[in-house]
Structure 1
Amino acid sequence: MTLTIPLVLLLAVVVVLLLRFKAVGAGAAVVVALFGFYLAGTDASDTVNQLVTAITGALADAGR
């Protein structure tokens, strides 16, 4: 059985935990979210997507 979790959901949980434990302020979380939003609209989005796909593929293969 394979369990899949969207990466966006996983990252959202991490951000919420960081905010909860005061490891990062609300202002920093907003800046990071805006950076990700604007980065998605640039030419770098393809490179970032390929990098994340490669990392998640490597992690999936390491678990076998």
Structure 2
Amino acid sequence: MFLSMSAIVLLGAAIFALWRFGRLSPWHAVLCTLFGFFLASSSVAPYIGATVRAAARLLAGIHP
């Protein structure tokens, strides 16, 4: 749960920064959000979650 909240905050900050400084239009931000929403409810979501957790463990230096 902590990892997913951290990822949400980090990705939200990245989208905000792109919107504010990178000329990301609000429509592009909405499309990114909808894509993430529908991707999370797809059959690929568990594999993406496992990959993100493995990458976070690798970056943190935690071995399973």
TM bin, normalised by shorter chain, reads 0.7 to 0.9
Between the two proteins, the alignment pairs up a number of residues equal to 59
Residue 52 of structure 1 aligns with an amino acid whose one-letter code is V
Give aligned-pair identity as a percent: 29
| Equivalent residue number for residue 14 of structure 1 | 14
Is 1:25 the counterpart of 2:28? The answer is: no
Structure with the largest fraction of helix: 2
So what's the TM-score if we normalise by structure 1?
Answer: 0.81
Give the unaligned 5+ runs of structure 2. Answer: none
> What is the TM-score when the length of structure 2 is the normalising length?
0.81
Letter in 1 for 2:29: A
Q: Which residue number in structure 1 is paired with residue 35 of structure 2?
A: 35
Cα RMSD over matched residues?
1.9
**Which of structures 1 and 2 has the larger relative contact order (alpha carbons within 8 angstroms, sep 6+)?**
2
Question: Could you tell me which residue of structure 2 aligns to residue 59 of structure 1?
Answer: 59
Q: Any idea what the Cα deviations from partners look like across 1:6-44, whole Å, max 9, x if unmatched?
A: 110111011100101034221111101100000111111
Instruction: Provide the rounded CA distance (Å) in 2 between the counterparts of 1:29 and 1:58.
Output: 29
**Partner amino acid for 1:34?**
L
